[in-house]
Chains A and B, each alone.
Chain A
Amino acid sequence: MLLGILIWALALVTAGLFLARNWFPPAINEHARMFDSQFQVTLLLTGGIFLLAQAALGFVILRARKREKATHSEGNNRMEVVWTVATAVLFVAAAAMSTRIFAGVHLAPVPKDALRVEALAKQFSWSFRYPGPDGKYGRLDVKQVNDASGNPFGKDADDPVGNDDIVTAALRVPAGKDVELMLRGRDVIHNFFVRELRLKQDVVPGMLIPLRFRADVPGTYEVACSELCGLGHHLMRTVLIVMPPEEFAAWERDALDQLKQAQAP
C-alpha cells in the first residue's frame, strides 16, 4: 500500500525536478537550438514511458491488496508482439531523428572561408594556434616542445612559415563565422567541451580531430575538460571568447604586432 503511493510520489517528484527550471545554459547557435529541441522530444518520449510504467506499477500494488485470489495467465502472444514492435519503432525513430544533428557537426562540409584554429590539450591546460595572414601553419617538431619558454606546440624555430602563427591560452573567435577547430593532444586523452555550443569532443594523442562550429552570440564561455586526464583534471579550464567580428580583427592585428616586435632582432 505504502509502496504504491511512494512509487507514484517519487515519479512525480522526479518529473518535477526535471521540469523545475531549465537546467541548460543558453544556446548560442543553430546547432545548440536543434540539440535543445531534440532533447525535449526525447524527454517527452522517455518521460511519458517513465510515468506510465511507474503509474502502472503503483496501481498493481495498490489494487492487489483487495484481491481475494490471483487470476491465472501464462502470457499473451499478441501483447508481446504489440509492445515489442511499438518500443522498437519509438526507440529507433528517436535515434533516426537525432542523426541529422550529429551529422551536422561531423559530416557536413566545412565552408571554404571558415576560420581555422588548432587546439592543443595537455595536462592540464589548453593552447590555441592561429595560422596568421599566410593561412599556413609552421612545421612542428616534437623535440622543441617546451612549456616554460612558451612553445607548447613545438613550433619549429627553423621554419619561417610559423613566424606569424599566433599561440594563445584562450580561444577567440568572431561571432557568426564558421570555425574549424583541429584538436591535437600530446600526452593523454582530454576533451573539449563548451556547454553553450552543446559540443563535446575527445582530444586523442596521435590523432588530429576536426570539430566545426559557429557561435552567434558574443560572450565568454567556459571550456571544461570532460575526459579524465589525471590529477589536475578538475582544473583544466580555459574560455571560449566570442567577439564581434571587428573586435576580433583588431585583436588579431594586435597579436601579430606583438609577435613581430618579439621577433625583431
Chain B
Amino acid sequence: MLGRIFSTDHKVIGKQYFFLALFSVLVGVVLSVFMRLHLIYPDMKVRLFELLWPTGAAGGIMTPELYLSIMTMHGTLMVFFVLTTAPQGGFGNYFLPLQIGAADMAFPRLNALSFWTTFAALLVLLGAFFVPGGAPLGGWTAYPPLSAVGEVAGPGQGDGMDMWILSIALFSIASLLNSINFITTVLELRAPGMTLMRMPLTVWGWFTTAIISLLAFAVLLAAGLLLLLDRWGGTSFFLPSGLVLSDRVLNHSGGSPILWQHLFWFFGHPEVYIAILPGMGLISTILSVNSRRPVFGYKAMVGAMLVIAFLGFAVWGHHMFISGMSPYSSIAFSVLTMTVGVPSAIKTFNWLGTLWGGKLRLNVAMLFALGFVSLFVAGGITGIFLGQPAMDLYLHDTYFVVGHFHLIMGVAAVFAMFAGTYYWFPKMYGRMMNETIGKIHFYITFLGVYGIFVPMHVAGFAGNPRRYSDFKEFEFLADLTRVHTFISHTSFTVAAVQLLFVFNLFWSMWRGARAAVNPWEATTLEWTVPSPPPHDNFGGAEVMVHHGPYEYSVPGAASDRVMQTEEKRS
C-alpha cells in the first residue's frame, strides 16, 4: 500500500500531480466565487463565510482583509498549483516517457521526491488560512514593503506571509528537481529513431518548459530567501530607510522595493510560458489528429517555442512600466515585448493552417482545442495594448489586465488541460469519458468564460482598479455595477458547470465505455501500448521509431495515418 502511494512509476506520479492540481483548481474556483459574490453584494450576510472564517467574516460579512487574503490564495493556488502543476507535472510526467519510447523518467526517485515536495508546499500554503492573522493579503506578487515588514502592514502579513514564502520556496525546489528530470529524460532516454525533429510537439513543449523552469524558479527561490532575510534577518534588500508604519520608524536602510519586482518578474513572466507552452504542444497535436492533417509548419512551431522561451526572459520589465523604473528601460522592454508577440502569432497562423483543409472530427477534446485557439487570440491580442508603456499609463492595474491574463494564462491554459484530459483519459484509465456530458460542459464553459472576462476589459476602460474589495468609495465605479453584476452571475454559472466535468471524470473511471488501444487513431507512441499501459510501458520491447509524429493523410499510404513505429516499406 505504502509502495503504491510513494510509487516511483512516472504514471502514478503523473496522476498524483493531476489530482493535486484538480483539488487546487476546485479550491481556487470556490475562492473566486466567494470574491465575485462579495464584490456585487458587499453587505450581504453569508452564513458560509462566517462558518469558514469566524473572525474574518464575523456576522457573515467579509472584511477587506479577508477578501484580499482570499484573492492572494486564489492567485497563488491557480498560478503555482494548477497552471504550473497539471500540464507539466501531471500530463508531462505521465506521457513524456510514453511518447519518446522510454520505460520511465531518468530519475524515478527524484520524480517522487519532487511530487511530495509539491504536496508539502500545498499543505503549507493552505495552512496559512489557519495561522493567527490568516492568509497574506499582498496578492500573488507579494510586493515589498507590504510583504516584508510583517504584521504592522496588515493582518496576514505576519505568520501567513511566512507560510506563503515557505510554500513558494518548497514549490520552487520541487520545480527545479522536476525540470532537471525532464531535461535529462528528453536528452537521454529517447528510443532509437526518435530524433529531436520526430518528437511530438507536446514533448517539445515539456522540454522547453523544463528549461524555462530551471532558470526561472532558481531566481524565485533566491528572491524568496532574500525576502525571508528582510523579515527575520534584519537585512534590507527590499527596504529603504525612512519607513514609518503605525507611527513607528523602521530600522532598515539602503534597499529597494523595485529590486523585488525585477527578481519576481524575471521569474513571473517566463512563468506565463511555463503555463502555456505544454498546452500549445498539446493543442497542436489534438488539432492535427482531429483534422487528419500534419501540423502545419512543424519546424516553425518548434522554432516559435524556442524563441518564446528565449525572449520570455527578456521582457519582464513590461510588468513594471509604472513602477518608477527608468523610462528608457520601459521603452526597451516595450520593443522586446512586441517581438515576443510574433512567435505567438506564428503559432496561431499555423493552427489555422493545420485546420484549413482538414476533415474535422469534433469530439470534446477537439472542441476544447478549437476553443483554446479562439481564447488564445482573444487573450493574446490585448497584450499589444499592455506592451505599450503609454497605454499602461491608464490600463496598468485595472480590470483590463485582469481580463487579459485570465483569458490567456488562465482560461486558455485550462482549456488545454480540459482538452488533454478528454484526449488522454482513455489511455490513463482504459475507458472513454462521456461525450454528451463533455459537450454540454464545453459549450457552457466556452460561452461563459467570454461572458466573464470580456466585460472585465471594458471595466478596465472605465479605469476600474483591480484588487479592490468593494467599489463603494468611488463615484466613477458606481457606473460599473451592471458590468460587475453580469460578470459575477456568469461566473457562478460557469463554476457550477465544472461539477459536470468532475462527475464525468469520476463516473467514467468506473462506468465509461471500454477504450480501444488507439481510439482517436493517432500516430504517437503512447497509442501503441495497452490502456492503461503496464508498469514498464512497453513491456520490455525495443521501440523503433521510423516516422515523424504527424503523418496523417499521406498520399499513397495504406490508411490516413502512419504510426511512428510503422516500418518503412522498401
Contact = CB atoms under 8 A, between A and B. Distances in A.
A195 interface: yes
Contact of A226 (B291, B300, B398, B469): B398
Interface in A90-105: 91-92, 94-96, 98-99, 101-103, 105
Contacts of B381: 46, 49-50
A195 B352 contact: no
Given A35-B390, A74-B294, A200 B396 contact: yes
Interface in B455-504: 455, 457-458, 461-463, 465, 467-476
B143 to A, nearest CB: 6
Contacts of B462: 23-25, 195
Contacts of B291: 64, 70
Interface stretch (B101-109, B343-351, B421-429): B343-351
Nearest to A187: B245
A28 interface: no
B8 to A, nearest CB: 39
Contacts, number: 328
Contacts of A191: 322, 397
B240 A74 contact: no
Interface string B363-393: 0000100110110011001101101111111
B270 interface: no
Place the interface of chain A in its size category.
35 or more
B296 interface: yes
A253 interface: no
Contact of A72 (B258, B294, B322, B330): B294
B512 interface: no
B313 to A, nearest CB: 19
B379 to A, nearest CB: 10
Given A188-B153, A189-B146, A224 B465 contact: yes
Interface stretch (A52-60, A126-134, A159-167, A257-265): A52-60
A2 interface: yes
B294 A7 contact: no
Contacts of B396: 200, 226
A66 to B, nearest CB: 10
Contacts of B446: 3, 6
Interface stretch (B24-32, B60-68, B183-191): B60-68
Interface string B176-220: 000000000000000000000000000000000000000000000
B154 A231 contact: yes
A230 B68 CA distance: 8
A206 interface: yes
A139 interface: no
B310 interface: no
Interface string A1-41: 01100110010011001100001110000000001001100
Contacts of B437: none
A102 B323 contact: no
A205 B259 CA distance: 12
Interface stretch (A111-119, A140-148, A168-176): A140-148
A171 to B, nearest CB: 16
Contact of B293 (A38, A70, A198): A70
Contacts of A231: 63-65, 68, 137, 154-155, 469
A50 B377 contact: yes
B436 interface: no
A227 B143 CA distance: 10
In the complex, which range does the number of interface residues on chain B fall in? 35 or more
A73 B298 CA distance: 11
B264 interface: no
A142 B244 contact: yes
A167 to B, nearest CB: 16
Interface in B394-447: 394, 396-398, 443, 446-447
B349 A50 contact: no
Most A CB contacts (10 A, CB to CB) among B335, B338, B352 go to: B338
A189 B292 CA distance: 54
Contacts of A65: 360
B243 interface: yes
B553 interface: yes
Interface of A: 2-3, 6-7, 10, 13-14, 17-18, 23-25, 35, 38-39, 42, 45-46, 49-50, 53-54, 56-57, 60-61, 64-65, 67-77, 79-80, 83-84, 87-88, 91-92, 94-96, 98-99, 101-103, 105-107, 122-123, 142-143, 145-147, 154, 186-189, 191, 193, 195, 198-202, 204-207, 209, 222, 224-235, 237
Given A57-B370, A206-B255, A228-B143, 17 more contacts: A3-B446, A39-B385, A42-B385, A61-B370, A64-B355, A79-B353, A88-B338, A91-B384, A99-B331, A188-B146, A207-B258, A224-B463, A226-B396, A228-B467, A234-B470, A234-B473, A237-B474
15 contacts: A6-B443, A17-B455, A38-B391, A49-B377, A60-B355, A70-B359, A70-B553, A84-B342, A94-B338, A95-B337, A195-B394, A198-B393, A206-B239, A206-B257, A234-B471
Interface of B: 63-65, 68, 137-139, 143-146, 149, 153-155, 239-245, 247, 249, 255-258, 291-294, 296-300, 321-324, 327, 330-331, 334-335, 337-339, 341-342, 345-346, 348-350, 352-353, 355-360, 362, 367, 370-371, 373-374, 377-378, 381-382, 384-385, 387-394, 396-398, 443, 446-447, 450, 454-455, 457-458, 461-463, 465, 467-476, 552-555, 560
The 8 closest A-B pairs by CB, nearest first: A206-B240, A71-B357, A23-B461, A75-B297, A64-B360, A234-B468, A106-B327, A101-B390
